[in-house]
Structure 1
């Protein structure tokens, strides 16, 4: 980070510490997000979970996460990212402890939802801070590197978790995560400067969100955020694991290794975006143009996976996840389409759409698998059917994005100019 110190309103050393402290908190939030995919065999064996129950347990995190996005956005604009993040991380500590103590499926699900509430600010608080303090190009780079940090957390949720299981067990793992969050709180409290609320928040919160949800740029990305972005996270954090074990016949160890490889590829991709985005923008590219050109790749990969069945192993799902990172450019694009006084609300509202999609798709795909198996389909065919439904939705969301392309820029400029 020092080698490419960003041009910001903060000194370079302070900007670096701000980024690192936020990244230190985002790392365990991503780890806990993806860990159910690795622990799925252990949970299924210990609790005898069906596919829909497993999807509900994994999705409870995203339900709690999504439920907090609108109040979170208002809090970020009113009180600032540092104070808000510290409060939410305290909830994450409580949630991890509750998960470690849980002794039933219901208790695990409630505790995982509480963890989702607690970590719901771990990305939006940094993005709001970056929007206020970083130039647009530096903001895109910092956002990409935050997502790279998330990929590092997802990497840690695969083979490293598998290696730690004999030493800590899954309960000990969650106690360790609680400690990690406490350390992150100390780091943020000491390293991040006090919040500067230079722009007064809108007097009526609902009005602010009404403006967000009516904005043409927001509407253009809404279906893609729900289905494509949400679908990528739903597969990466859960359903790729069961596909590899139930469809491809891989062992838990092989599956953890496959997920590890996918997440390493994601980390390298987000790192590359951090370096490439400023250069691409300097050459006249925009987030809209990059997404329009890049999004057919993951959609085709998803359809190929559906057709390949047991032959669709980790390399293909890695291609799907890596190429889906084009849609991550939509987050800073939405943030930049709004004035700074609405940035927290705009980013959180879009995050609500993404994680509502993750929760819905994680649960719905498990329910579809159970229903199709109950109707007499084979396990392989049931998974193909569930993934095909996602592919249809992703395809339609991309068509919507293309269809809405003319409306956005003029209105976006009018809103930003206010």
Structure 2
């Protein structure tokens, strides 16, 4: 982007672009904090509500279930009404969900509140990415996508040691009340700073008259379906492990204490913050050199399979290196995060909201299935007589095999762009 005159009728001047990015990033920071906080709170909630591994997985996955339920209507509303109106309406639900979680006195109450939180923050990434599709050029979109994910990692970072430090002072209920208040402040900043969505700006491509707001063009895209299994298993699994199962792996498999696991989660999320920051720095240059996202995924994602296999093979022997190994798993899985902006850019701008939300539905459905599925497999392994560590190893091995299969599908599927 130029610092003075936008190169396209819809592109924002640099200063306004930075302000808009920061306003959206603050909301995404708190959405990621709400998403990841269950990993830190899992020992407390497990004790207070007598939760099994299956219950814990379902509770964490409830956020992603709520998130997934809104994605298809969200995409349509984003294309019709723009990111500002949509995200403000959705974040109202997030505030209510945080308050409901703080008041819950049963597992069912916690689960319902988590679903409401997931619905409420479900526009926090798709709304800005839809705006960026129109407001920024292609290389800047890759950068801002990575830096939004970096902001999310910062939120997950805040959900580890800072939450652990606040627990003895405030307790988890007061923390959720404060989260609701912080999300309300983010809403105010978005209302004041983000520009109004212009349906047909001067010089912008007009929305085709035959566009009925459906997802027909998305579902017909070979490129979309090529990316789908990886989004479900590898991307969804990366987030599922980062936001929930990394903590129990450290405590139940590696033998760490709750406070040690919180420190480990801090390190994992810090490593992801740095990873996405680096992606934001290098992806525009790679795009200018003609290196496609698909090639990066093909070469880079198999590294995560090596790390997964190592974790499964070593099991409890990973010991004090558990956090490092889990951080490497998440970092090497981050190649698949490049698929999301690639899907958005594979469609015309009037379809961007629907394309991004459809793919986000795939990712978050995967997170829900992997989070709950690992819990189910762990409980099933225990029921079959496996010791705790072995049950976790079997569950992670099953996830790894699904991820490998999704990558093989990606490699074999004919690489057709949806343009």
Q: What corresponds to 2:385 in structure 1?
A: 376
Q: Contact between 1:200 and 1:341, CA under 8 Å: does it hold in 2?
A: yes
Q: What corresponds to 2:223 in structure 1?
A: 217
Q: Distance in 1 between matches of 2:116 and 2:2?
A: 36
Q: What corresponds to 2:265 in structure 1?
A: 259
Q: Distance in 1 between matches of 2:415 and 2:266?
A: 41
Q: What corresponds to 1:142 in structure 2?
A: 144
- Structure 1 unaligned runs (5+)? none
Q: What corresponds to 1:296 in structure 2?
A: 302
Please report the RMSD computed on the Cα atoms of aligned residues, expressed in angstroms.
1.6
Give how far 1:303 is off. 1.1
Q: What corresponds to 1:274 in structure 2?
A: 280
Q: Distance in 2 between matches of 1:6 and 1:139?
A: 15
Q: Distance in 2 between matches of 1:18 and 1:153?
A: 18
Show CA shifts across 1:145-174 (max 9, x none). Answer: 000000000000000100011111100000
Q: What corresponds to 1:239 in structure 2?
A: 245
Q: Please show how residues 98-247 of structure 1 align to structure 2 within 5 Å.
A: 98-198=100-200, 199-200=206-207, 203-206=211-214, 209-247=215-253
How many equivalent pairs are there?
Answer: 407
The residue matched to 1:338 in structure 2 has which SS? coil
Q: What corresponds to 1:403 in structure 2?
A: 412
Give how far 1:353 is off. 0.3
Q: Contact between 1:6 and 1:138, CA under 8 Å: does it hold in 2?
A: no
Q: Distance in 2 between matches of 1:304 and 1:129?
A: 40
Superposition TM-score, scaled by structure 1 size: 0.95
Cα 1:224/1:6, change in 2 over 3 Å = farther
Give how far 1:200 is off. 3.5
> Which stretch shows the higher mean deviation, 390-399 or 298-307?
298-307
Q: Contact between 1:152 and 1:264, CA under 8 Å: does it hold in 2?
A: yes
The residue matched to 1:146 in structure 2 has which SS? helix
Q: What corresponds to 1:46 in structure 2?
A: 48
Q: What corresponds to 1:389 in structure 2?
A: 398
Pick from 311, 323, 332 the counterpart of residue 314 of structure 1.
323
Q: Distance in 1 between matches of 2:105 and 2:176?
A: 14
Q: Contact between 2:6 and 2:13, CA under 8 Å: does it hold in 1?
A: no
Correspondence 1:366 to 2:372 = no
> Which stretch shows the higher mean deviation, 7-16 or 262-271?
7-16
Q: Contact between 1:6 and 1:134, CA under 8 Å: does it hold in 2?
A: no
Q: Contact between 1:88 and 1:120, CA under 8 Å: does it hold in 2?
A: yes
Q: What corresponds to 2:67 in structure 1?
A: 65
Q: Distance in 2 between matches of 1:20 and 1:311?
A: 43
Q: Contact between 1:7 and 1:134, CA under 8 Å: does it hold in 2?
A: no
The residue matched to 1:49 in structure 2 has which SS? coil
The residue matched to 1:120 in structure 2 has which SS? coil
- Structure 2 unaligned runs (5+)? 201-205
